[in-house]
Amino acid sequence: MIQVGIIGSGFIGPAHLEALRRLGDVEVVALCDSTREAAESKARALHVPHAYDNVDALLAHPGLAVVHNCTPNHLHAAINRQILRAGKHVFSEKPLCMTSEEARELVQLAEQAGVVHGVSFVYRQFAMVQQAASMRRAGSVGRLFSAHGTYLQDWMLLETDYNWRVDAGQGGASRAVADIGSHWCDTVQFVTGKRIVEVMADLSIVWPTRKASVSGAATFSHDDDARYVDRPVSTEDIGSVLFRFEDGSKGCFHVSQVSAGRKNRLSFEINGSACSLAWDQETPQRLWIGQRAQPNQLLSDDPGLMNADVAASAHFPGGHIEGWPDAFKNMLSQFYQAVREGRKPSRSETFASFYDGANVMYLIEAIVKSHQEQRWIRVGQ
């Protein structure tokens, strides 16, 4: 069994745990949180045998091979650094870190450590996204002209919607672009096989001041007697970005966390000389194939209808619902196959590695700079 520790037990930590338990030969043996009480309480609830309130103590747990970093954004870089220096394989929540300088350092440390490294960009792992990428690789799309799409949510719509991500000190200088635009960029770069190399961005703050609950109540909770304190906002709620791929083809995307009725709508369309492909995460089992001279198609994630090289990303017969937890399992399955083989990640892995995490950090910084300077910005390396 591969023994694993998880640092952070908020929303995403248990999601990692659930996916890991589906792999069969992976055992989560330790959980770490900010306090001993929180760690022990969560470990009991999740049936994890050991609890820690100190990262170094968790890293010293006997037999530990892999560590998942599921902490808030501002802690990612420091904890990833600790894990790498301890010589453990590391799987990090996104963003990989907070700055491009940290990204370069972490890539270098990961290479020096010789470990397997991954970043949680999950949307490339949906079966129909894998199918779209396979069709592009096979030449079915023809010459790619453009890509466009959106990632829309409504969880920050109200003035009283507030959580730690709004605080630039904890969430980073960018919010909507870094939080959800990063997923869109990773997904589309994976599908197209192209890197975004230049950006022109326009970002917007809908609520310059938000009302945070004095009690610390989370977004979505309701309390008629709640008292609020005004908090200034410096991170964007909305963003629109024009971009250029490395081969000169172009595209655009729009992100929003204030679009009423949109819960988690990552959607993209790529246009090529042979056909177009479009996918929407809220109806994930359908891939739209647009044609010029014949009827359009809706392909479902039936393994028997998919390209052979990606059919295994759909686990059940056609018509059986698969979704986000199954894509999460796909992602970790690929990561742990690399762990079993002792294979250092390359820059062309199916799962996102620190190389991809760093690339997205360079993109985010370029987008923020483009908005600030109102001009095209070249994406760094």
pLDDT at 224: 65
Domain boundary among 81, 99, 119: 119
Do residue 363 and residue 272 come from a single domain? yes
221: pLDDT strictly greater than 70: no
What is the spatial distance between Cα 354 and Cα 280, in angstroms, rounded to a whole number?
26
* Structural domain contains residue 345: no
12: pLDDT strictly greater than 80: yes
326: pLDDT strictly greater than 90: yes
pLDDT at 219: 62
Please report the DSSP string for 163-190 in residue order.
-GGGSHHHH-S-SHIIIIIHHHHHHHHH
Do residue 127 and residue 115 come from a single domain? no
Residues 6+ apart with CB under 8 A from 240: 201, 202, 203, 252, 253, 254
Do residue 105 and residue 200 come from a single domain? no
Which residues, in sequence order, are bridge partners of residue 204? 238
222: pLDDT strictly greater than 70: no
30: pLDDT strictly greater than 90: yes
Assess contact for 314 and 302: CB atoms under 8 A: yes
Do residue 20 and residue 102 come from a single domain? yes
What is the spatial distance between Cα 92 and Cα 56, in angstroms, rounded to a whole number?
17
* Structural domain contains residue 332: no
Do residue 242 and residue 112 come from a single domain? no
Do residue 282 and residue 151 come from a single domain? yes
* Structural domain contains residue 344: no
pTM of the model: 0.94
* Structural domain contains residue 214: yes
375: pLDDT strictly greater than 70: yes
Do residue 129 and residue 263 come from a single domain? yes
Do residue 55 and residue 185 come from a single domain? no
| Residue 376 CA: distances (Å) to CA of 44, 101, 121 | 51, 21, 26
Do residue 311 and residue 180 come from a single domain? yes
Average pLDDT value for residue range 141-160: 96
What is the spatial distance between Cα 368 and Cα 99, in angstroms, rounded to a whole number?
12
216: pLDDT strictly greater than 70: no
Per-residue pLDDT band for 190 (boundaries 50, 70, 90) equals very high
Which CATH number do you get for residue 255?
A: 3.30.360.10
186: pLDDT strictly greater than 90: yes
Average pLDDT value for residue range 21-47: 95
pLDDT, one tens digit per residue, over 244-292 is: 999 999 999 999 999 999 999 999 999 999 999 999 999 999 999 999 9
Domain boundary among 119, 138, 153: 119
pLDDT at 172: 83
Domain boundary among 119, 143, 162: 119
What is the spatial distance between Cα 177 and Cα 366, in angstroms, rounded to a whole number?
11
* Structural domain contains residue 341: no
What is the spatial distance between Cα 52 and Cα 249, in angstroms, rounded to a whole number?
49
Do residue 158 and residue 301 come from a single domain? yes
Percent of the chain with pLDDT over 90: 87
* Structural domain contains residue 57: yes
* Structural domain contains residue 343: no
Domain hosting residue 42, numbered range: 2-119
pLDDT at 215: 73
Do residue 115 and residue 127 come from a single domain? no
217: pLDDT strictly greater than 70: no
pLDDT at 223: 65
176: pLDDT strictly greater than 80: yes
Greater confidence, 202 or 170?
A: 202
Average pLDDT value for residue range 63-67: 98
| Domain count for the chain | 2
Q: In what order do the strands lie in the sheet with 286-290?
A: 297-300, 286-290, 276-280, 265-272, 144-152, 250-256, 238-245, 196-204, 377-378
Do residue 150 and residue 259 come from a single domain? yes
Greater confidence, 82 or 348?
A: 82
pLDDT, one tens digit per residue, over 350-371 is: 999 999 999 999 999 999 999 9
Which CATH number do you get for residue 78?
A: 3.40.50.720
| Residue 281 CA: distances (Å) to CA of 94, 123, 193, 216, 285 | 18, 8, 20, 31, 8
